[in-house]
């Protein structure tokens, strides 16, 4: 094997799942679970390589697009009864065959949508520095646990005849399942993830969610905009095109109707400046609208951007437009506010919601703006995109 031994993050992601079909490709906050795991691993400065081990062609393609290496997992260790340890050991052997020596194995589970990258980085440092052989993510708990048997419930970690206060009880630690960092040689020798000196990487309860049921998936999606650093913490996006809905994005979604049926809306001048700055920076701008309204065309002419309106299927129109302009969909930001935007949000690299968007749009978004539609939302999005363009501040 050539080169120095690496710190390798391995993410097992098989195609099958009983509780949630195609679970590893399901989205939280507009991002597939497998992609969220890859991004968390790549966010660690210590990780040299991110590897997804899978038996599924679609997961393989998504993982490669997200910047991970892939190990093809054989069917014999891809069924419901296969252990994570078997997949990890196979991945290490496959990397050996490629000339990659692994010093520290970082086992990340895609079913944990929220990973504390600072805690992960700290765990790697502890193992790499010899402080522990294994460090795993865990949350502090003072819960009273019970076992239910034929004769009723029995206390497990407490005497049920005595109820000490929380502050008087010694804390225990519950695995979150998010990550396990271990010496690769020790793992290979033992064949299981806990060996030698074991340490805990304490994480906040926000990062303790693990998805095994549809209810947990729904809960994670609802919470993503609140607890996911990739939502409120985004400071810039790197795109080649910005595509926007019109009503509820460029406007506040209200309309004034005259006696003759003519309609009037209010647009924000700061949004107009945002569009201008994007155009000058070389970012293509497109307005998509379901409605056919002369005011949309007029605003497009004023902004000097292309407008497509009267669309029954906005996602198909966006796909065809992107192909005609040779712009990959993963290089597109789409900002919307209502349910007819969900199709577009699902196919772009940067799904964006205005602050007052419908809850389903909020759940599907990777970025949630602080501005409401018609109140500078497009300008805010422009400012996120501009730092990545040459010649802009």
* Inside any domain, residue 95: yes
Query: Do 65 and 205 fall into the same domain?
Result: yes
Residue 236 is assigned to a structural domain of this protein = no
For residue 282, the Cα-to-chain-centroid distance in whole angstroms is 27
> In terms of domains, do 36 and 116 share one?
yes
166 falls within a domain:
no
- Per the structure, the count of domains in the chain is 2
Confidence of residue 393 (pLDDT cuts 50, 70, 90): very low
Same domain? For 82 and 210 the reply is yes
Looking at the structure, tell me whether residues 11 and 138 fall in a common domain: yes
Structural domain includes residue 156: no
Are the CB atoms for 172 and 216 separated by under 8 Å? Answer: no
User: Residues 54-102: pLDDT tens digits?
Assistant: 999 999 988 888 789 999 999 898 888 889 999 999 999 999 999 999 9
Specify the pLDDT at position 9: 97
> Domain holding 289: CATH number?
3.40.50.1000
**314 closest CA partner among 360, 241, 246, 385:** 246
Record the pTM: 0.64
Domain-located, residue 163:
no
Q: What angle do CA 50, 54, 22 make, to 5 degrees?
A: 115
Q: What value does the mean pLDDT take over residues 366-385?
A: 90
Please say which residue of 204, 227, 250 terminates a domain.
227
Residues 257/263, Cβ–Cβ less than 8 Å: yes
Query: Lowest mean pLDDT: which of 190-194, 274-278, 366-370?
Result: 366-370
pLDDT band at 2 (very low <50, low <70, confident <90, very high): very low
Task: Dump strand ranges (E) for the chain.
Answer: 6-12, 27-28, 31-32, 49-54, 69-72, 102-108, 134-141, 146-149, 152-155, 172-183, 198-202, 241-244, 256-257, 263-264, 284-289, 306-309, 332-336, 350-353, 367-368
Give 56's DSSP letter.
-
Residue 27 and residue 33 in contact, taking contact as beta carbons nearer than 8 Å: yes
Q: Looking at the structure, do residues 211 and 259 belong to the same domain, yes or no?
A: no
Q: What is the mean pLDDT of the chain?
A: 88
Q: Please check whether residue 41 lies inside any domain of the structure.
A: yes
Same domain, 253 and 218: no
pLDDT at position 337 is: 93
Residue 229 is predicted with a pLDDT of 46
In this structure, are 114 and 254 located in the same domain? Answer: no
Grade residue 169 by pLDDT with cuts at 50, 70 and 90: confident
Specify if 148 maps to a domain.
Answer: no
What does the pLDDT read at residue 3? 55
Asked if residue 221 and residue 249 are part of one domain, the reply reads no
Q: Which of 182, 68, 30, 115 is nearest to 12 (CA)?
A: 68
- Determine the average pLDDT of the residues in 354-381: 86
For residues 124 and 251, membership in a common domain is answered with no
Tell whether 22 and 88 lie within a shared domain: yes
pLDDT tens digits along 200-233: 999 988 888 899 999 999 888 888 767 764 444 4
pLDDT at 389: 55
Region of poorest pLDDT, from 307-311, 375-379, 385-389: 385-389
- Res 388 pLDDT > 60: no
Whether residues 305 and 198 fall in one domain: no
List the CATH number of the domain containing 178. Answer: 3.90.550.10
pLDDT, mean of residues 361-380: 86
Domain of 335 in residue numbering reads as 241-388
The answer as to whether 149 is a domain residue is: no
**For 102-137, how does the pLDDT look when each residue is reduced to its tens digit (9 = 90+)?**
999 999 999 999 999 899 999 999 999 999 999 999
Same domain, 107 and 201: yes
Identify whether the C-beta of residue 115 lies closer than 8 Å to the C-beta of residue 178.
yes
pLDDT tens digits along 248-297:
999 887 877 777 777 777 878 899 999 999 999 999 999 998 878 888 88
């Amino acid at each position: 094997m050539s080169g120095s031994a690496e710190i390798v993050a391995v993410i097992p992601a098989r195609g099958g799942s009983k509780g949630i079909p195609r679970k590893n490709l399901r989205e939280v906050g507009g991002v597939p679970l497998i992609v969220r795991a890859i991004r968390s691993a790549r966010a660690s400065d210590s990780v040299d390589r991110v590897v997804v081990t899978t038996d599924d062609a679609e997961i393989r393609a998504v993982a490669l697009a997200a910047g991970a290496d892939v190990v093809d997992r054989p069917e014999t260790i891809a069924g419901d009864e296969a252990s994570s340890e078997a997949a990890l050991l196979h991945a290490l052997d496959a990397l050996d065959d490629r000339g990659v020596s692994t010093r520290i194995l970082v086992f990340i589970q895609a079913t944990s949508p929220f990973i504390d990258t600072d805690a992960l980085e700290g765990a790697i440092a502890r193992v790499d520095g010899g402080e522990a052989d294994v460090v795993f993510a865990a949350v502090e708990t003072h819960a009273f646990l019970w076992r239910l048997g034929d004769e009723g419930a029995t206390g497990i970690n407490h005497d049920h005849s005595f109820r000490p206060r929380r502050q008087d009880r010694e804390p225990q630690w519950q695995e979150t399942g998010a990550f396990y960092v271990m010496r690769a040689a020790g793992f290979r020798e033992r064949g299981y993830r806990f060996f030698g000196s074991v340490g805990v990487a304490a994480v906040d309860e926000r990062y303790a969610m693990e998805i095994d049921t549809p209810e947990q998936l729904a809960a994670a999606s609802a919470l993503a905009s609140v607890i996911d650093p990739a939502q409120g913490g985004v400071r810039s996006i790197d795109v080649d095109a910005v595509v926007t809905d019109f009503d509820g994005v460029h406007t506040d979604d209200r309309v004034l109707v005259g006696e003759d049926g003519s309609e009037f809306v209010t647009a924000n001048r700061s949004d107009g400046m945002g569009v201008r700055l994007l155009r000058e920076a070389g970012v293509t701008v497109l307005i998509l609208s379901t409605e056919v309204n002369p005011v949309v065309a007029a605003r497009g002419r004023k902004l000097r951007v292309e407008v497509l309106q009267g669309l029954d299927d906005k996602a198909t129109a966006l796909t065809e437009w992107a192909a005609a302009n040779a712009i990959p969909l993963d290089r597109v930001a789409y900002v919307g506010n209502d349910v007819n935007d969900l199709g577009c949000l699902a196919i772009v690299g940067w799904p964006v919601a205005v602050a007052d968007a419908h809850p389903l749009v909020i759940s599907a978004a990777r970025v949630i703006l602080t501005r409401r539609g018609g109140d500078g939302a497009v300008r805010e999005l422009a400012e996120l995109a501009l730092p990545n363009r040459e010649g802009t501040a």
